[in-house]
């Protein structure tokens, strides 16, 4: 059984490495004890996201429904023949992750199956379920059963997830609209997207980053470096997006090159070593 579980963890790691170099670098900077659990959470959410984003030739609604049912069956049975779900259930059961977070995640994935405009309420609901709860699942792992530490860091963890997701929305605004028919920002008409509206969205994201940093400073030592690296990477991406005109955002997916990501990892690691694990101001 140990071999099967370890193989499941390895497959979740492979999924993470294949789909996201930035998150892979962040996980590598975590304490080793957190690697398998965080790979497992990312592998799980990545699979669900793939269903709604890329499986265009298939019945997405049925696939997502089945995946959701299989997820909760795996958690209840404490085993699954799907290695992604098996590693995820191991983490959920070990760290006692609240099932409400998983349900909220699936609700947001279900929202992606519908082409609809987002008002403020739907926008906040989607961000909570698609991004904030993922950060909260990871926070359960980092806090290792310390519910008081979890409660203390819950709000900034949500803000970090929100900041990441909103940056993704800006980066992918063109492909989301053209390929999937989605516009997440409330009241945004793609034809009327102008510098003023872009600045308003960017100010909201900056506020999320600022509030998230307060929590990063209080994270357990084994989690701080990896989370701070992800923060620095997205802050760098956000700065690049802010420097781009609307016309470029609407025609190009802004990226950070892998070499730059690697340099950020080295700089972040050295900074924390030299400052006794103290994170810098934004």
pLDDT bracket for residue 33 (50, 70, 90): very high
pLDDT bracket for residue 261 (50, 70, 90): low
> Is 198 buried (19+), middle (13-18) or exposed (0-12) by CB count in 10 A?
buried
CA 66 to chain centre: 22
Cα–Cα dist 250/86, whole Å: 40
pLDDT of residue 149: 97
Residue 281 pLDDT exceeds 60: no
Cα–Cα dist 88/9, whole Å: 9
Cα–Cα dist 111/81, whole Å: 28
63-120 confidence digits (pLDDT tens): 999 999 999 999 999 999 999 999 999 999 999 999 999 999 999 999 999 877 788 9
pTM reported for the whole predicted model: 0.91
Residue 275 pLDDT exceeds 80: no
Long-range contacts of 260-265 (CB under 8 A, 24+ apart): 260/236, 261/21, 261/22, 261/25, 261/233, 262/25, 264/25, 264/229, 264/232, 264/233, 264/236, 265/25, 265/28, 265/29, 265/229
210-221 confidence digits (pLDDT tens): 999 999 999 998
- The more confident residue out of 44 and 257 is 44
- The more confident residue out of 139 and 19 is 139
Where along the chain do its domains lie?
2-274
Residue 7 pLDDT exceeds 70: yes
pLDDT of residue 1: 76
pLDDT bracket for residue 273 (50, 70, 90): low
- Among 38, 220, 225, which Cα is nearest to 146's? 220
Q: CATH 1.10.600.10: does it fit domain 2-274?
A: yes
Q: Which of 101-110, 230-239, 247-256 has the highest mean pLDDT?
A: 101-110
């Amino acid at each position: 059984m140990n071999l099967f579980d370890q193989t499941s963890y390895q497959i979740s790691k492979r999924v993470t490495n294949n789909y996201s170099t930035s998150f892979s670098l962040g996980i590598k900077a975590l304490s080793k004890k957190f690697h398998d659990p965080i790979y497992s959470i990312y592998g799980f959410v990545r699979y669900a996201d793939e269903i709604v984003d890329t499986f265009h030739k298939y019945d997405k609604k049925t696939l997502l429904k089945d995946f959701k049912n299989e997820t909760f069956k795996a958690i209840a049975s404490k085993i699954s023949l799907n290695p992604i779900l098996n590693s995820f259930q191991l983490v959920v059961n070990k760290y006692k992750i609240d099932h409400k977070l998983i349900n909220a995640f699936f609700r947001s994935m279900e929202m992606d199956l519908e082409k609809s405009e987002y008002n403020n309420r739907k926008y906040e609901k989607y961000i909570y379920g698609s991004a904030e709860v993922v950060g909260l699942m990871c926070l359960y792992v980092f806090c290792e059963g310390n519910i008081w530490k979890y409660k203390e860091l819950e709000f900034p963890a949500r803000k970090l997830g929100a900041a990441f997701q909103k940056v993704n929305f800006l980066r992918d605004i063109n492909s989301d609209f053209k390929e999937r028919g989605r516009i997440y920002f409330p009241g945004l008409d793609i034809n009327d997207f102008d510098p003023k509206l872009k600045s308003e969205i960017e100010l909201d994201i900056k506020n999320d980053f600022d509030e998230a940093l307060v929590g990063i400073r209080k994270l357990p030592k084994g989690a701080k470096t990896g989370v701070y690296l992800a923060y620095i990477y997205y802050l760098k991406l956000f700065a690049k997006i802010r420097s781009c005109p609307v016309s470029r955002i609407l025609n190009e997916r802004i990226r950070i090159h892998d070499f730059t990501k690697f340099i950020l990892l080295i700089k972040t690691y050295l900074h924390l070593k030299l400052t006794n694990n103290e994170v810098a101001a934004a």
